[in-house]
Amino acid sequence: MSRRNKHKRDSDSPADGKGQPRRRKGRRKSWYATHGRDLRFLAVFATLMGGYFFVTTTSSFKDEFIPWFLELNATVSATVIHAFGYEDMTQRGNALMSARGAVSVERGCDALDPCALFVAAVLSTPAPMVSKLLSALGGACVLVVLNLVRIITLFLTAVHWRPAFDVMHLEVWQALFIILAIVLWMAWASWERNRRRRTVMAEASQMPDTN
C-alpha cells in the first residue's frame, strides 16, 4: 500500500481529541425493539381481562354459574368447619349459619377475579404454551383453595371475634388476595425465566467444541 493511500484511509476515520481514530458506535435499538415485549404483554393481558369481564356480564354467568359456584364454596367450607367440631353450624345455599355468627358467600368472595388476574398474567408472559397452561391451572387451584381458607376464617371470626369481622373481610382478605395473585405470578415468572436460562446453558455446554 502506498503512503498516499494509507494517509487517505487514516484521514477518512474520525479522530478523537488525541488524534486516534474513533470507533463507530453500534446502531441504537429502536423504541419498539426495547419495549416491544412489554407492549405485547400489556396487549394480551388487556385482551384476556376484557374477555373475562365481558363473560361476567352474561346472564348464563350471573344467573347459572355464579349461584352454583358460590354454593359449592359454601358446601366445601361447611364440610371443613364440621370437621373442626362446629356441629351447630348449618348451611343454607351459600350461607353458613350458627347461633353465634354467620357468613354468606357472595360474589367477590369467590376468588374468580384474582384467578382471572393470575391466569391472564401467566398467559401473557413469553413462555412455552404448555408451561403456561399448566402453571395457570395450578395457580388457579391454589387461589381457590386459599379462598376456602378465607371463608372458613371469616366464619370463625364472626363466631369468636365479631368486632373484627368487617376489617378481616373488607380490608385484610380483599387486599391480601390481590397481592397473593400478583406475587404468585411474579414467583412463577422468575422461576420460568431461570428454568429457560438453565436449559440454554445446558444445551450450550453439550455442543461439541470445534476448536
Nearest Cα residue to 96 out of 110, 81, 85, 111: 81
The torsion defined by the Cα of 173, 177, 179 and 184, in degrees rounded to 10, comes to 140
Query: What percentage of the chain carries pLDDT values higher than 90?
Result: 54
Residue 3 domain-assigned (yes or no)? no
Residue 22 domain-assigned (yes or no)? no
Q: How many domains does the chain have?
A: 1
pLDDT tens digits, residue range 157-183?
999 998 898 898 888 888 888 899 999
Rounded Cα gap, residues 142 and 173, in angstroms: 15
Residue 5 domain-assigned (yes or no)? no
Burial label for 200, CB within 10 Å (0-12, 13-18, 19+), is exposed
DSSP-derived secondary structure letter, 91: E
Looking at residue 174, its pLDDT comes to 86
Residue 25 domain-assigned (yes or no)? no
Looking at residue 11, its pLDDT comes to 47
HSE-up of 154 (CA within 13 Å, CB side)?
A: 27
pLDDT tens digits, residue range 79-125?
999 998 888 899 999 999 998 889 999 998 889 999 999 999 999 99
Rounded Cα gap, residues 46 and 127, in angstroms: 18
Confidence at 56, pLDDT banded by 50, 70, 90:
very high
DSSP-derived secondary structure letter, 1: -
Residue 127 domain-assigned (yes or no)? yes
Looking at residue 177, its pLDDT comes to 87
Residue 17 domain-assigned (yes or no)? no
Residue 110 domain-assigned (yes or no)? yes
The pLDDT mean for the chain works out to 84
Tell me the residue range of the domain where 152 lies. 35-192
Rounded Cα gap, residues 14 and 78, in angstroms: 80
Residue 163 domain-assigned (yes or no)? yes
R_g of the chain computed on alpha carbons: 29
